[in-house]
Every structure is written in C-alpha cells, then in structure tokens.
Amino acid sequence: MTLDRRHLLRGGFSLGALTLLTGCDLSDSDAVQRVLAGFSAWNDRVQAALFSGTRLAPTFAEAMAVKDFRYNAWYGAEKAPDLKAAEYRLMLSGLIADKRPWTVEQLYALPQVSQVTRHVCVEGWSMIGKWSGTPLKTFLERVGADTTAKYVGFECADGYYEGMDMPTALHPQTIMAFRLSDEVLPRKYGYPFKIRVPTKLGFKNPKFVTTIYVTNIRPRGFWTDRGYNWFSGI
Amino acid sequence: MTPSNPSQHVQTHAIAVRITHWLIALSMLVMIGSGWRIYDASPIFGFSFPAWATLGGDVETALAVHNDPGVASAIAWHFAAMWVLFVSYLLYLLWGALSGHFWRDFLPVGPKSFLRDFLAAARFRLEHSLGEYNAVQRVFYWGVLALVALMLLSGIAIWKPVQTYPLEVLFGGFQGARIVHFLGMSLIVAFLMVHVALVILVPRTFVAMVTGHAVEPAPHVQTETVP
C-alpha cells in the first residue's frame, strides 16, 4: 500500500463538496423542520419527566452575584418599556378565582424570599445574580388559581409572551422577582417585576409582566414561536 | 477476523455494525455542524466557526424571519441527532460486547504493541491487512468510543445543569463542562480526519463497511520487504 496523495486530495475535495451541498438548505426544508419539531416535542416530554418539583437549583454565595447584570433582549435597553407604578396594573385571567388587578404597591407588600442563582442563556453564557420576590406558588394560591391546571402563561409590556408547566410554576425557586441585587428591579431588567425561574433557560424568565393566566392549553412562547424548544428546562 | 484463505485477507462487517456505524457517523456530523453554530452564539475561545461550515439553515434568512442567526434550528438539530447518536452508540456497544466483536478484533492491545505499530505507521511501514486491526487502530477505536461517552456526559451536564448538577461539578463547573465538550469535539474531529484519510487510502475498507464484505486483491505481501 503506497500513500497516494492525488487520490487523497480528490477524495478530500469530494467530501468537502458533499458537506457544502447538504449544509446550506437542508435545514430550511419543511419536511426537515417537521421532523425536528417532532424531536423537540419528544424532548419536552423527556424534560418534564426529568424535572423534580423538589430538586433545587444550585445556590451560590452572595459575593458571587454579579452586580452589573447583563442586559439581554432583541431590542436595545433604551427601548425597554417605561412602566409607571401609578398606571401599572397586573391583570389576571383564565382559571383564577379572584381576578382583581394588582397594583405595584400591593405586589411589593407580598411576603418575599431571596435567591442567589444562576441564569443560563440558551446561547451558552451564564451569570449568577441575586433576585428577591414572592414565590409564584404563594401568589397563585392567594388569588385562588386552579393549581391542578396544566400551565401558567405570561404577557408582557414589551410584546413578549411566555408560559410554563404548572410543576415548574409551583417550584419553590420560581418567583415573581421585584428586586435585583437588593434594589427595586431597574426598568431595563423588567420593572415592576420579572418571573425568575432558575430551573429553566433565560428566555423562559419574562420581564415587564402585565398579565398572568392559568390554562390547560399550552401557552405560546416568543422564542418557542421562533424555533426554540418549549420546555427548555435545565 | 481470521481470513478463510491464509494468502487472502478478507474484511467482513456484520449488518449490526454497518447500520450502527453509519447512524453514528451521520449523527456525529450533524452534532458537530450544529454544535459549531451553537458555539458561535457565545464563543468560549477567541474565534468563531465560519457560518458556511455550520448546520442550522441560512443565517441571513433566519435573521430576517426570526431575528435569530439560526441558533434555534441548530439546537433543534443538535437535540434530535443526540438521540440517534445515543441509541446507535448503545446498540453498537451492546452488540460489540455480546457478539465478541470487541474482544476478538479490538483486543489484545497494550502500550508496547501500540508504540511498535505507531512508529511503523509514522515511517509508512505499517501494512494494512484487511480484516485485521493493528494496535494503533485498536487504541483509536477504544479512544473514540470513550470520547463519545465523554461527549454524552458533558453534553448532559450542559443541557441539564440543574437536574444533573453533580455531573457539572465533576467537570469543574458549567464552564468546565462546556470546555470539555469542546475539547472532546476537537479530538473526535481529529479522529475523523485520520479515519477518513485512511479510508481514502484503502478504499476497500469503505466497500466492506457498505456491503459487509471486501477481499484484498493480490496475495498479501509484507511492505517491509519493499525498499
């Protein structure tokens, strides 16, 4: 057997050409997208089975919390909604007994907990922060939500929308975060509150929440509508 | 496997090996291509992969339609191919262990025989006999099998850093798991380059992996006797 360089080169080129051919347009075909969506639905089921309502996300020393937290959205921070406490009302809808709207003052008077947890972005970066607020479970119980329903959905002042499975909504670390680094949630981070859920990827943590609803129909998600996996647990 | 005729070398591959080999090959290429697109979304090191080399559809189209550079699509590819890789890898391991393929063809192997064959190969003096793996091949095959296991474990650590937190700790944290996942990918790509180069040099091995059977054309001659 001799080393045939010409043979090797020719073979290498045909392999390269093959990769170029398949790489570009395969992803954009409808049939391929349907197969990928099928796998994504299967992954939703696997993740729901893996999720434990009692297993806590790792918590870190307070000194590890980043003070200047990374701003992340599809628009610049200057375009973030500027909600005023005087006009703001949190609306409730769906399978909730007491649908009276909530003012910022009422929300901020709720019992609160703090957590130093890690925000993991779907892009791969992660950052530790300190958030404080009311467990979503406490709030849902207080307004008489049907916690046997399947999902909780959120609508936001910036046009964002998200939702999550009820087991995750009732997880002790899923909170309505009113504070970041011990300060009232600044405008660009989602004033008056964001949903902080350390058992899910960052995009499942909606900011500027204006409506909370309880439903048995799976809520759509802003990024899920753009191809990301729905459950997105971590 | 032992040749039927001592002067003629034969390579045979069981159907289970061929099917799992090609499923693993395909899913690995998909995972590498989509993994590069995902890496580009938040690079660990000071470089990015060129978009044309990554999998996840046309970047400009995705940006125009979804305001996302095809990362959603790349992740969908990655988390679909991982099941194909996982299942075919497990089936291959199971078949290799139960059929005796591993013990018959990949063993024995030791540092001494590896060094001997590696030095011979470096001087282009290592004869490739169809149907018989030299010590370098044996070490490489065990190595790439171990690498796939490492990729699955570090991948789970990145995918589920809350539900499998102890696994992440094992890799030295979330960032550690990402780095291990990247280095494992690099070693697998290096393996694939050598693997494919050798297949191009000995095309009958490709025939054997497709049809299940290939025969060495001429009687077996030791290269050592050729100047």
The pLDDT value given to residue B176: 97
Chain A residues in contact with B40 (beta carbon < 8 A)? none
- Cβ distance of B58 and A37 shorter than 8 Å: no
A/B interface, count of CB pairs below 8 Å? 121
Alpha carbon B104 to its chain's center: 20
- Cβ distance of B162 and A58 shorter than 8 Å: yes
Q: Regarding beta strands A126-135 and A161-165, do their DSSP bridges make them parallel or antiparallel, or are they unpaired?
A: unpaired
Task: Enter the tokens of residue A80.
Answer: 């973030």
Range of the domain at A113: 30-226
- Cβ distance of B79 and A25 shorter than 8 Å: no
Q: What CATH number corresponds to the domain at position A135?
A: 3.90.420.10
ipTM > 0.90 (yes/no): no
Which amino acid would we find at residue A104? Answer: V
Q: How many domains does chain A have?
A: 1
Is residue B37 in a domain? yes
The pLDDT value given to residue B137: 86
B106 has pLDDT over 90: no
- Contacting B residues, span 19-38, partner chain A, CB-CB under 8 Å: 29, 33, 38
The pLDDT value given to residue A22: 52
Q: How many domains does chain B have?
A: 2
Residue with the bigger pLDDT between B123 and B209: it is B209
Is residue B217 in a domain? no
Is residue B221 in a domain? no
- Cβ distance of B174 and A39 shorter than 8 Å: no
Boundary-marking domain end, from B85, B105, B125: B105
Give the model confidence (pLDDT) of A206-215 as tens digits. 999 999 999 9
B2 has pLDDT over 60: no
- For testing the chain A interface, which of B156, B162, B204 should be mutated: the one with the most A CBs within 10 Å? B162
Query: B128-156 burial string, b = 16+ CB within 10 Å, else e?
Result: bbbbebbbbbbbbbeebbebbebbbbbbb
- Please identify every stretch of chain A with a pLDDT value under 50, giving residue numbers as ranges: 1-3, 5, 21, 23-24
- Assess whether B48 and B126 both reside in one domain: no
Is residue A205 in a domain? yes
The pLDDT value given to residue B103: 86
Range of the domain at B75: 12-105
Is residue A4 in a domain? no
Boundary-marking domain end, from B55, B80, B105: B105
Q: Which letter does DSSP use for residue A165 in this model? A: E
Give the model confidence (pLDDT) of B62-99 as tens digits. 888 888 888 999 999 999 999 999 999 999 999 999 99
- Assess whether B156 and B86 both reside in one domain: no
B129 has pLDDT over 80: no
Per the prediction, chain B carries an average pLDDT of 88
Is residue B7 in a domain? no
Is residue B31 in a domain? yes
Cβ atoms within 10 A of the Cβ of B203, count?
A: 12
pTM here is 0.87
B8 phi, psi to nearest 5 deg: -125, 130
Is residue A20 in a domain? no
Beta-bridge partner residues of A127:
A119
Task: Enter the tokens of residue B210.
Answer: 């497709």
Is residue A15 in a domain? no
In the Cβ-directed half-sphere of A87, how many Cα atoms lie within 13 Å?
5
Give the model confidence (pLDDT) of A181-232 as tens digits. 999 999 999 999 999 999 999 999 999 999 999 999 999 999 999 999 999 9
Average pLDDT rounded to a whole number, residues B115-140 = 81
Boundary-marking domain end, from B105, B127, B145: B105
> Nearest CA to CA, how far is B61 from chain A (Å)?
9
Which amino acid would we find at residue A18? Answer: L
Is residue A80 in a domain? yes
The rounded distance, in Å, linking the Cα atoms of A78 and A75 is 8
Distances (CA, A) of B218 to A59, B5, B73, B214: 67, 12, 49, 12
Chain A residues in contact with B87 (beta carbon < 8 A)? none
B135 has pLDDT over 90: no
B1 has pLDDT over 60: no
Minimum-distance CB partner of A52 among B61, B163, B201: B163
Q: Regarding beta strands B213-215 and A209-215, do their DSSP bridges make them parallel or antiparallel, or are they unpaired?
A: unpaired
The pLDDT value given to residue B64: 86
Question: What does A118-131 look like in DSSP terms, one character per residue?
Answer: EEE-TTS-EEEEEE
> Nearest CA to CA, how far is A57 from chain B (Å)?
5
The pLDDT value given to residue A7: 53
